[in-house]
Amino acid sequence: MKPFQPELWDHAAGFLAPLVEQVEVGWPSDLLKAGIILVDLPGVGIYPGFPGGISGSGLLKALHTQAETYGVKMVRKRIDGLKRKAPGFLATFDGSQVKARFVLLATGIVDKSPQLPGLDEAIADGSIRYCPVCDGYEAADQRIGVLGHSSDASSKAAFLRTYSNDVTLLSLDDRATSAEKAQTLRKAGVKVAGPVSAIERSDTSIRAVLQDGQSLPFDVIYPALGCEVRSDLASSLGAKTNDVGCVEVDAHQRTTVDGIYAAGDVVSDLHQIAVGTGHAAIAATHIHKSLPENFKTRQEAFHHAEQFLQTPIYR
C-alpha cells in the first residue's frame, strides 16, 4: 500500500457526489480533504459495476477524472485545523486555507496491523486481509487464521466459518475467552491456538509462530486488532462520537454540530466503499438543499453548457 502521505491511510472513498453538488451550486470547488488520505488499494473485488474487480488506484483515477469533469480541483493535502468562521468553516492546510459553508468529513479509519516484514506485499497477494464482509467469499475453502485477542477476534472467526471449514482463532494472549464466546467457537467448529509470538511469510505461505515454538501454516490471515477512527476534526468542534470513536449522524449524515456532515468509515462499522459513497450522496443532497438559492441566468446556462460539451466524454 502506498498512500499519498505515509502516516495516514483510509478506507473511505465517498467523496465524489458532494463535490459535484458543491460545484453545481457555485460554491468553492477546492477539495476539503479534512484529513482524507486515499489509499492505493491492491484491488476492489466487489465494488458495483466492475464484474472483474478494479484496482484501488484504477478506481481512484476514474473517480478523480469524473470529478474533474465538473471543474473540481483536487488538493492533496492534510487538513491540520478546522474551525468555525461565519457563515461556515475555515480549514487550514500547509500554510493555506479554504472556506466552506458546510463540511463533509470522510476521514475514515486506520486498521491496526501485525508486525510483519513485507506487509504491503502480503496485502497485495491476499495472504493478509482485513474485511471478511468484503472479501470472505474470496477466501472460501482456504486455511484461514484470525489474529487478535480472543475476546475481540472470536466473532470474526465465527463469521468466517461460513466460507471455510478450516478456521483458527490465533490468540495473542493467555486470557481465557468468556464461557459464552468459547461455546460459540466450539459450536462453530473454530479452532483456537496461541499465544502467537510472530507472523512470518514466505513466497508460498503465511505462518503463525506460537510461543511454544509450533508453526501453523495458513493461506490467509485476517487481523482483528481494532482500528483508529479518524474523528478528531469532528470531535474538536464538539461532534458527538460513540464508544469506539465513530461520529454519530442522523438520517441526512448530519453530525451533532450544525453544518458538519460525515460519511464512510468514520461513521459506520461496515467498512465498504459503496457504503461511504451512499453516505456521501445522502449528505450531498441535503447540503445542496440547504444552500442559499443560486438561480442561474440564461447567459450563465449557455456558458456552462458550452464548457461542459468541451469535456473529453462529450467530444
Distance CA 83, CA 85 (A): 6
3-state secondary structure of 54: strand
3-state secondary structure of 242: coil
Residue 1 pLDDT greater than 70, yes or no? no
Query: By CB neighbour count within 10 A (0-12 exposed, 13-18 middle, 19+ buried), where does 313 fall?
Result: exposed
The C-alpha cell at 284 is 450531498
Average pLDDT over residues 53-59: 80
pLDDT at position 69 is 86
> What does DSSP assign to residue 232?
H
The pLDDT-based confidence of 123 (bands split at 50, 70, 90) is confident
Taking alpha carbons only, the member of 120, 159, 113, 152 closest to residue 136 is 159
Amino acid making up residue 53? G
Most confident of 5-19, 62-76, 214-228, 284-298: 214-228
pLDDT at position 27 is 28
For residue range 90-120, list pLDDT tens digits in order.
Answer: 999 888 898 989 999 999 998 899 988 888 8
Residue 14 pLDDT greater than 80, yes or no? no
pLDDT at position 315 is 52
Q: What is the largest CA-CA distance in the chain?
A: 78
3-state secondary structure of 244: coil
What integer best gives the mean pLDDT of the chain?
Answer: 81
Average pLDDT over residues 211-228: 94
pLDDT at position 26 is 26
Phi, psi (degrees; rounded to nearest 5) at 253:
70, 20
- DSSP bridge partners of 202: none
Q: How far apart are the first and last CA of the chain?
A: 36
Instruction: Tell me which of 10-24, 44-58, 256-270 is least confident.
Output: 10-24
Phi, psi (degrees; rounded to nearest 5) at 93:
-160, 125
The pLDDT-based confidence of 170 (bands split at 50, 70, 90) is very high
3-state secondary structure of 184: helix
Average pLDDT over residues 64-70: 86
E strands along 143-201, which residues?
Answer: 144-148, 167-171, 191-193, 196-201
The pLDDT-based confidence of 32 (bands split at 50, 70, 90) is very low
Distance CA 144, CA 142 (A): 6
Sheet holding 191-193, edge to edge: 191-193, 167-171, 144-148, 220-223
Q: What torsion, rounded to 10 degrees, do the Cα atoms 243, 1, 6, 133 define?
A: -10
Query: By CB neighbour count within 10 A (0-12 exposed, 13-18 middle, 19+ buried), where does 211 fall?
Result: exposed
44-73 b/e (C-beta count within 10 Å ≥ 16 → b): bebbeeeeeebebeebbeebbeebeebebe
Ordered domains of the chain (ranges, CATH): 16-110+227-314 (3.50.50.60), 113-223 (3.50.50.60)
Residue 180 pLDDT greater than 90, yes or no? no
Q: What torsion, rounded to 10 degrees, do the Cα atoms 194, 167, 276, 53 define?
A: 130
Most confident of 39-53, 162-176, 288-302: 162-176
